[in-house]
Structure 1
């Protein structure tokens, strides 16, 4: 389990940290004016709500109060009409403020969520390869997508509900104290009980909702992995096994959800019970004075209505509690990701070297993918030099360290021992963006993004014209491949290039690399996944592609590397031989054995 997952497990056993909420609401800081408007509108709404109980009291103790002879007082109808008019105006005013309040709060919420999602997505793209090696794809997707989505209700409704509760309780309590201080004491007596109750259930509930998010993330990771490997699953008839694994994860998720529901199910009734006790206590305490004529009936009714006005928002916030817990758990997972530092970053004094000539030096390089491991390194004391414009090939058995060499050259990882130099610069002294802009990479599994052929070629050159793209196919001797596509450059390649044949996908990747005009070209098993006829086509393109820059080629098919200027043979992470194809064959060493095995 990675350190990242260990930290999630530790967090799952602890309550929500205040720093998380402070950091989350920090995303709303640029929208202070809009939030101030929300608070102002909410204040208007609260004041309008204070008017209604006063209107009811005015009606009960005024126009609706009968005289000793059973008749209504003179002018009662006019007074009632005025009070009802105030009531209607109040309702209209509240409707207008509510509309603008919701619009403003939603606008702020959308902007906050948008910024947060962009921050998370941008950070994921900057993370080093080692993070992706140890973290399941489904977990990452869950954070960028579902975890951010789970913050929407808190961000959209949180400011309104929190402001409503604070203002309602503050203004309402002041009004009740002024109205009848003795009865107000019953309300104030319930405040500490409500606070203790909320704190108790929060400490129980938050770890439970963290566990819900974690088990859901595990399900997402399993589904993503199974879909990616569906061919393997079907080929080995393991559908039942994978379904069983999903059932186990679902069982854990269901248990976590039910546990959270039990906590929430106990909290809301407990909160409601406290409110009912307070309400009944005030009614009992006020009934006697009303019966004795010490306070008017309208005052007690106003007091009870005000009580509902105060406790209603608190109860609404209690109902919102579940979503707050879900959002809090999601926020901690998001910030855990944002706090994960990339391992490969620019040094403070990193430079842009300008156009590289492609002079590469590996100087006693040692490397392992897990720096903390004690096993043998993937590369051990590797030294070689590549002249500008030279083509070298890396060959050797599986696990010899060939891909590790190009991973270091592309600076996806950094060596623990030795150094790599480009045009005399230590590679860590160069800006990553400047380095990657001058590298073209074609991998064994050709990756194309969903879109058209032209869209994918524009990854190499964003302002690429259709004419320039067509020229790329022509220069590599592959114009006929473009002509065979149903819509030419506008052909939709589908997700991962699924609409194209393997050879067509690889040709598009070759053209993309050529259009980038790289100083250093890396080809990692670029022809290994195609048939011999397509390989011949790709080799022709490869000859044209490697004429103008330094090229590093990895291939199991030795026919691909015969024309290299120099061949490096790796075994157990070390360079054991180097020379031309003819020289190495004549030497009767490791390369000769590989070639004999290949020819057989």
Structure 2
């Protein structure tokens, strides 16, 4: 969603947009509608044949259903008088025909619902898959600004609105539209003056329907934004439950949720009031028309200008003529909600990765002992108009070298690591891997060559073996256990209730922070990358675990290029080279011992402070 669209959404969330912004609001609304319709067409195009079959079935159903009142009129005007004279053939055929229409209508309705249900569920399956695949393929920068709660809203409440339209609204629209057209033709055939009188009252209804469509679209756009905000708040509160309870934030969260709920309720009420007004007008016009036709028709029957059977059939059709307009209202209501949902979903699908897959990828040369990493005149900022985070610099890390990045929090160490892993592309210059710009490396090759282990050590629900096995899909159980053994994780894993088959639960909650980190190390070791990036990867380890990892690191880092970001000097000292980063610039560069021997400088001060803490 663009900045302009977000501003309009926030404005409408607070109420009706200001008059001086009405033109902007309408322009954005037209763009959103065009985008959502394009998405809908792309979903329906592969299912056009089934859609045409559904249309044919509903046409046949309406033809069969609408023939009923004609048979009633024929029975009253011809069949009953003939039966009184002893001739029952016409009446018998009318009764049999009416029974056949009832059976045929039910059978056609069954087939129509089956087809529509199949199309609807296939469409939802397609759309849900598109959203999930697309969200996974977007860059890290997108997920840092577009919360997981919003993605969940797209996949849940927004898809439910579309499902409601497909399950209920579409059926109602087709049936209603065909009924209105068919009944109008039949009424014109039965009695032209009465039909013209009825159709004259239909003109204001068209104007009211147009008003309803536009107003409800704006109202439901507010509700989709509202429910997304509620889901975001809920997900954030549940994910941060430890902090919520530890710092007694329950009351504050309830206040925020209450405010969001109230605004969502108000947005829904505005939408329902619009629906209520429209339904009231439709029924009022319908009832007034029915009363007027009954009065006029009765007078004409008494005067001999109209047959009673024709008036009866006309009134039956007239009742059915206005009833479908309620279905049209319900469809318009469901369509407005679904259209607003499609606008949100199409906005997500319109997002493009900042770090795009190369159109013509270049292969990486073979590497036996790591890969050279080179920064050529690299500059970086997180947004086009944001501050420079990394001023222009050059850096070469030879293949097989272990480099430690140290510096204060916010100095730019993690940013350098993210550029190596290509979570971001530099604003200027290039990062090269074995002489090939990362922008030209296929994502599959890059992820096989570069692995990053962070402090977050995210684990998925499932067994310990499954989480380690993510390092290399298809790895055998023996390889998984060997990786755990290499990094020192096997000892604690084997003590778990079910060993490697123990479920770590959501986010690895069954394991301690240190144990989760060891599993992440085993995963990286199994992946066997040419370049390994450790971003504060030992920060969560206790002293025994740290010692175990320190021993394993020599094995893990052997024959590969490594970039280590750490505050613990015990981890830094195993590096071949140390880079001290300050304000995005590399201010010191050398081996750990050479920087210590200088006796001054940030690294020497850090080393002296560490020695003092051990005393």
- Shorter-chain TM-score tier: over 0.9
Give 1:589's aligned residue: 601
Distance 2:271 2:170 in 1: 24
Distance 1:171 1:261 in 2: 30
Question: Are 1:29 and 2:30 counterparts?
Answer: no
Match of 2:182 among 132, 147, 171: 171
Match of 1:556 among 549, 564, 567: 567
Q: CA deviation at 1:274?
A: 1.9
Q: CA deviation at 1:284?
A: 2.7
Query: SS of the counterpart of 2:156?
Result: helix
Give 2:144's aligned residue: 133
Distance 2:57 2:350 in 1: 36
Distance 2:569 2:453 in 1: 17
Question: Are 1:475 and 2:475 counterparts?
Answer: no
Give 1:325's aligned residue: 336
Tell me which moved more, 4-13 or 150-159. Answer: 4-13
CA deviation string 1:112-146 (max 9, x = no partner): 11111111111111222222222232122211222
Give 2:84's aligned residue: 72
Correspondence 1:438-457 to 2 at 5 A: 438-457=449-468
Match of 1:100 among 101, 104, 111: 111
Q: CA deviation at 1:389?
A: 1.5
- Could you tell me whether the CA contact under 8 Å between 1:393 and 1:555 is conserved in 2? yes
Distance 2:42 2:199 in 1: 32
Q: CA deviation at 1:8?
A: 4.1
Tell me which moved more, 356-365 or 89-98. Answer: 356-365
Correspondence 1:259-298 to 2 at 5 A: 259-298=270-309
Query: SS of the counterpart of 1:567?
Result: strand
- Could you tell me whether the CA contact under 8 Å between 1:442 and 1:522 is conserved in 2? yes
Correspondence 1:394-405 to 2 at 5 A: 394-405=405-416
Correspondence 1:35-54 to 2 at 5 A: 35-54=51-70
CA deviation string 1:174-198 (max 9, x = no partner): 2222222222112321332111001
Distance 1:285 1:352 in 2: 85
- Could you tell me whether the CA contact under 8 Å between 1:393 and 1:564 is conserved in 2? yes
Distance 1:65 1:597 in 2: 113
User: Normalising by the residue count of structure 2, what TM-score does the alignment of the two structures yield?
Assistant: 0.92
Q: CA RMSD in A?
A: 2.1
Q: Which segments of 5 or more consecutive residues in structure 1 lack a partner in the other structure?
A: none
Query: SS of the counterpart of 1:150?
Result: helix
Give 1:365's aligned residue: 378
CA deviation string 1:423-452 (max 9, x = no partner): 111221222332123222211011011111
Give aligned pairs, total.
Answer: 593
Give 2:127's aligned residue: 116
CA deviation string 1:272-313 (max 9, x = no partner): 112223322322332222112222111111112122333332
Q: CA deviation at 1:355?
A: 4.5
Q: Aligned in 2, Cα 1:582/1:7: closer, same or farther, shift over 3 Å?
A: farther
Query: SS of the counterpart of 2:411?
Result: coil
Give 2:390's aligned residue: 379
Give 1:314's aligned residue: 325
CA deviation string 1:470-501 (max 9, x = no partner): 12223334332331122122111111011122
Q: CA deviation at 1:19?
A: 5.0
Distance 1:448 1:269 in 2: 55
Q: CA deviation at 1:576?
A: 0.7
- Could you tell me whether the CA contact under 8 Å between 1:2 and 1:134 is conserved in 2? no
Q: Aligned in 2, Cα 1:22/1:132: closer, same or farther, shift over 3 Å?
A: closer
Distance 1:155 1:496 in 2: 36
Q: Which segments of 5 or more consecutive residues in structure 2 lack a partner in the other structure?
A: 14-24
- Could you tell me whether the CA contact under 8 Å between 1:457 and 1:511 is conserved in 2? yes
